[in-house]
Amino acid sequence: MKEKYKTKFDEEERSEKSVQTKITKNKRKEVRDDFLNNFFLPLRQKYEEDIETYKALFPIKEKEMHDEEREYKNIYQHGEVINSR
């Protein structure tokens, strides 16, 4: 019995799983599209409209920034470097 019906049930399980996967993908797509269209994109557009205001709030320019000297510490175990910070 097991051998006789195994292929039939396997095909049914695969088809059901495929249907469930499609449903899940569609739900995720709907949630993603809803988030993008109703939250993220309007927020981004508002930010881009007011970009000069935000630039004025944060006057530090990238060219004015300089790298700080970093100190590295190595952790050794029997002559081998285990970790470097």
Return the sign of the alpha-carbon dihedral for residues 46, 52, 57, 58: positive
List, in sequence order, every residue forming a beta bridge with 80; answer none if it has no partner.
77
Going residue by residue through the chain (85 aa), what tens digit of pLDDT does each one get? 778 788 888 889 999 999 999 999 999 999 999 999 999 999 999 999 998 888 888 777 776 777 777 777 767 666 676 666 5
Residue corresponding to tokens 């630039």: 55
74 has which bridge partners? 84
Q: Kindly state the tokens that stand for 27.
A: 């739900």
pLDDT recorded at residue 1: 73
- pLDDT at site 27: 97
pLDDT of residue 39: 94
